[in-house]
Amino acid sequence: MDLSPNEKLIWRGQPKTGWRLKTGDKVRLPLMIAFTLFSVYWTLQATAYDTPRNLWVMGVPFILFGVYASLLRYWIEAKERQHTRYAVTNRHVIIHRTWPMQRVTRIPLNDIDYVFIDEAADGSGDLIFGIPLKQSVPFLPQRPRPTRFSPCFEGIPQVKQVYGLIHGAQKK
């Protein structure tokens, strides 16, 4: 990672590698597996009974979607994490990815309005950066929420320590 002049590296790290289930995946994954199996069953039944070709061909996109949502998506996310590096400097938070294409995201510390911490029992976790969305229902308490497209440090060890470094660098 190339740093600008007068920029000092405070921390660098990388996410945990391998497959990782997030909170919503514990419900989503079994449902997607069931969806995929039903799509395969439906398509095979449609081919077995001399149904018109357009009926059983309709099952193929559902099978492909199910395979992506229940398996391929996790493989892609694991591969992305394997090729990702993070850094915190006295001026920026940097996310550097080299797969599927080279991409460097530099977020000035002054532009980070909120850092959402999602900590696991082992002390690792995610730091999600940016301006959070607020709930759209006016009578409910307004609570900041990150979006799934917010830039983040995902699966880093000692997440609270890294948060402290970022918070300290923002104050300077």
CB atoms within 10 A of CB 117: 12
| Fold type of domain 9-17+83-171 | PH-domain like (2.30.29)
How far apart, in whole angstroms, are the C-alpha atoms of residue 172 and residue 167?
A: 9
70: Cα separation from own chain's centroid: 15
For residues 26-58, b (16+ Cβ closer than 10 Å) or e, as one string?
eeebeebeebbeebeebbeebeeeeeeeeebee
Question: In the chain, where are the structural domains located?
Answer: 9-17+83-171, 25-79
Amino acid at 84: T
Query: Which is more confident, 7 or 1?
Result: 7
Digit-coded pLDDT (tens) for 114-156: 899 999 999 999 999 975 455 555 555 555 556 667 899 999 9
Task: Give the pLDDT of residue 51.
Answer: 84
CB atoms within 10 A of CB 3: 14
pLDDT at 33 exceeding the cut of 90? yes
How far apart, in whole angstroms, are the C-alpha atoms of residue 155 and residue 114?
A: 18
